Structure 1
Amino acid sequence: MAKLNDTIVAPATSIATQAIALIRISGDDAFVIINNLLKKKILTQKGVFVRKLYENNNLVDEVVLTTFVNPQSFTGENVVEIACHGGILNTNRIIRLILNLGARMAMKGEFSQRSFLNGKIDLIQAEGINDLIHATNDLALKVGIDNMSGINNKAIVELKANLIDIISRIQVSIDYPDYDDIEGSSVEDLIKLLTLIEQQVTKLLVRSKMANKSVEGIKTAIVGQTNVGKSSILNTLLNEDKAIVTDIPGTTRDIVEGQISLGNVTLNLVDTAGIRQTDDVVESLGIKKSKDLINKADLVIFVMTKNNLDSPENVEILKLLKNKSHILTVNKNELLTKEEIKLIVSKYPQAVFTSAINNEIDDLIFKIKEMYVNEEILASNELILININQIALIESVQEKIKQALQAIQNFMPIDIVNVDLYEAWNYLNELIGEQYDEEIIDNIFRKYCLGK
């Protein structure tokens, strides 16, 4: 871990040709360093100042300085933010001057890391900042904002308080066995209390796993026979020409990928090679990949046309999709009569109809949202965790509480029960960062962008 008493600097905006660039300095010497570049000094106080920066009496730039004094800053340290004129040369020149005056370049996420280490934010808030920065859909934005602000984090604090209360009751009964009438310490009471906690943890886990799937992206394979319009559907969803579209069967010989945000759900789309009988070696490999992807995908968009509804290849695909989340999509509906549509619906009532060539895929998008956009989660004001490591910690909490419940119900020694409960409590501490390994904390914050 880098020294926390260093004064650090980094661009908070990308270094590019732009109107304004923001440079952030944090540390004990932030005011000393900036004053070395000013003729009209600033006091160590919170404020906004317009100043000219100089290097050896040569004007460098006219800037706006926003200053914060510890501990009333994001990092809990003295902070100076410099809004200078953008431009690669100008921004780098100012950073170089600051480095020459004793600061060092910040590492990725180091400002947020200092905020955490100085007690300004907990680890859930820190992860919320990163989730907000890297959000790919509206749900991720909501979770990032909520967790960054800390408005729902009290749920973990309450869980910890309830758990330590039970641990304390059990510990008293261990230390003072003669007092067997302590209120709330009977086997029935402990089972009731732990069951309530286990239900809270399970609800948090269910919400979080559902949200994580929508945020990280539903692995979606577009499959079907050749020349049914799979690539056209991919391109229409992505609103770009990602795949090569022709009337020649077998054009897509390998896997083509893309990502799309549908409001509150993200799809990781994969357009696969058409499934058909072929002697072409390369195409055969693509078809094998397609069948493998059906097994690995979370969702399969199975594309058909009126010409191949009951073909042997489609029958084979339907067998593969029997226990898989899928959407039957009848493409090229511009070629269908009303009678043909009725006939298809009678046989495949769950089918949706599209015309990718005419950009008509609204029914498909509606079906996807219907399957994966959970209105309860969107309206929820309860804590949701979308980071896979946070979810893993909650799973560990759940496992330990279940083990403790099982131990009590099996009349195991009460001190054995407390071992599991202590471990669950420690996992909650790790979740919010009240106990941590320095190397793990370093790794968490290195996922951030520079200057945050």
Structure 2
Amino acid sequence: MSDTIFALASGAGRAGVAVVRASGPRSGDLVRALAGNLPPPRAAALRALKDAEGGLIDKGLVLWFPGPASFTGEDVAEFQVHGGPAVIAALASALESLGARPADPGEFSRRAFAHGQMDLTEAEGLADLIDAETEAQRRQALAQMGGALGALYASWREALIDTLASIEGEIDFPDEDDVPDRLSERAGPALDALAASLRAHLQDNHRGERVREGFTIAVIGAPNAGKSSFINYMAGREAAIVSDIPGTTRDIVEVRLIRAGFVVYMADTAGLREASDVIEAEGVRRALMRAGEADMRCLIVDVSRETPDDAASLLRPGDAILFNKSDLTTDRPQAPDGIAGFHVSVTGADGLNAFAAWLDDQLIRRLGGAEAAPLSRARHRQLVERALASLEEARLWLDTRPELAGAEANRAIRALGELTGAVDVEDVLDRVFSQFCIGK
């Protein structure tokens, strides 16, 4: 990282102010060449910025952050100029002429990680904060960026390293007087406690991932039950085609909602029935697949019909049934145990406020705050699962083959190290930081 990079750190397009940031060993030289001299550290100074020929680029604020007390841990310079595209282009051209190069996506954050300014989970929290659209996403990203997950994973790793020392003590020094017999047996309770902590962390119903990525609801039911009208009501617009012709919806129609501060993806699916052609059959197949994968299923039943709805078998505890067209009949069927039931008229919007209030409450209950920092990415879950599997293997071998128990403990330590970037896994780092925006 001997080169110096720069990037537009503010949003693209016309703006009142644009922020261009540079990081690297020649950042101070860039400031001197463009602005004449270095301002005091961390103090904004108004400067005339000039190119190599002495032509005025713009007048703006210059800030100087000598490393390691900077975001990246390197020398960092920041130029706050007027936000016109021509000004930004002229400043970028001047920086390139002075030997700096445009930054790659996530390169500033990667340099911060490389210089110990943040661990990998904190860097991911920063990316999530930039992408946050809801209050829940903002809070979760801030907690992760503040080290909530990293501290938890690091504590597990340190505890496991201590436990491994006990195991290896018996392996390496079995005849030493100062190493008690069966020292590895002392590692058993510690391994059990660590495994219990990892299991509890995994049993969170994917709460952190749902906050970050969105909660999914599959709207299912027979043709003409009112699914599309219900979707349109929830979306507040005509997102799905409504028709009296059965089988109008043949593919997944998904709408994105913000409910109770959480992102919700609600999917209108094909009517569940014996398909009349191959296209409808594919739509039914996709509907069943989406129903199986969704976080919640919402079954729409037309109670004006007297035929039973076989789709009820797809429901799970915590799902909902909307008995639609209740205004056309005095019949008031009840939902099965564990399923929330609502008597509604989708076209008249009767009873839908009660469902919406119930849904908001469910989102808060399922995705709301908890004391422990949640897993927020599939990468985290996979590594914790891998570490847990190795811990369980280590426990099985502990009493009979401590050398195998030690090998499994080492695998668990490596998996936990990958979570925070404590071990050097280059392809993991490339994958994580490539998802960042330019300038971060």
TM-score (norm 2): 0.89
Distance (whole Å) between structure 1 residues aligned to residue 193 and residue 438 of structure 2: 42
Per the TM alignment, residue 210 of structure 1 is displaced from its structure 2 partner at its CA by 3.1
> Structure 1 pair 187/58, CA: closer, same or farther in 2 (3 Å)?
closer
Counterparts of 1:123-162 in structure 2, within 5 Å, are 123-162=120-159
Q: Counterpart of 1:41?
A: 37
Distance (whole Å) between structure 2 residues aligned to residue 396 and residue 281 of structure 1: 42
Higher mean alpha-carbon deviation, 158-167 vs 49-58, is at: 49-58
2:28 aligns with one of 28, 31, 44: 31
Q: Does 1:330 align with 2:326?
A: no
> Structure 1 pair 373/347, CA: closer, same or farther in 2 (3 Å)?
closer
Q: Does 1:423 align with 2:419?
A: no
- The secondary structure found in structure 2 opposite 1:344 is coil
Per the TM alignment, residue 157 of structure 1 is displaced from its structure 2 partner at its CA by 2.4
Distance (whole Å) between structure 2 residues aligned to residue 181 and residue 218 of structure 1: 56
Higher mean alpha-carbon deviation, 241-250 vs 139-148, is at: 241-250
1:349-386 CA-to-partner distances (Å, cap 9, x unmatched) read 731244444556333334444545446x7443433221
Q: Does 1:362 align with 2:353?
A: yes
Q: Counterpart of 1:446?
A: 434
1:257-303 CA-to-partner distances (Å, cap 9, x unmatched) read 22223235433322112234664664454344333433343422111
Q: Counterpart of 1:259?
A: 256
Q: Counterpart of 1:388?
A: 378
Distance (whole Å) between structure 2 residues aligned to residue 220 and residue 149 of structure 1: 31
Distance (whole Å) between structure 1 residues aligned to residue 164 and residue 153 of structure 2: 16
Distance (whole Å) between structure 2 residues aligned to residue 184 and residue 209 of structure 1: 43
> Structure 1 pair 291/193, CA: closer, same or farther in 2 (3 Å)?
closer
Contact 2:62 2:77 in 1 (8 A): yes
Q: Counterpart of 1:50?
A: 46
Distance (whole Å) between structure 1 residues aligned to residue 89 and residue 372 of structure 2: 43
1:344 partner letter: P
Counterparts of 1:167-316 in structure 2, within 5 Å, are 167-179=164-176, 182=179, 186=183, 189-207=186-204, 209-263=206-260, 265-276=262-273, 279=276, 282-308=279-305, 310-312=306-308, 314=309, 316=310
Distance (whole Å) between structure 2 residues aligned to residue 281 and residue 443 of structure 1: 39
* Consecutive unaligned residues in structure 2, runs of 5 or more: none
Q: What is the root-mean-square deviation of aligned Cα atoms in Å? A: 2.8
TM-score (norm 1): 0.87
Distance (whole Å) between structure 1 residues aligned to residue 373 and residue 344 of structure 2: 38
Higher mean alpha-carbon deviation, 79-88 vs 118-127, is at: 79-88
Distance (whole Å) between structure 2 residues aligned to residue 77 and residue 250 of structure 1: 61
Q: Counterpart of 2:421?
A: 433
Distance (whole Å) between structure 1 residues aligned to residue 235 and residue 128 of structure 2: 23
> What percentage of aligned pairs have identical amino acids?
27
Per the TM alignment, residue 63 of structure 1 is displaced from its structure 2 partner at its CA by 1.4
> Structure 1 pair 167/277, CA: closer, same or farther in 2 (3 Å)?
closer
Distance (whole Å) between structure 1 residues aligned to residue 55 and residue 348 of structure 2: 62
Q: Counterpart of 1:414?
A: 402
Aligned length: 437
Contact 1:224 1:230 in 2 (8 A): yes
1:317 partner letter: A
1:222-271 CA-to-partner distances (Å, cap 9, x unmatched) read 12223332122222323333222344444323321222232354333221
Contact 2:121 2:149 in 1 (8 A): no
- The secondary structure found in structure 2 opposite 1:302 is strand
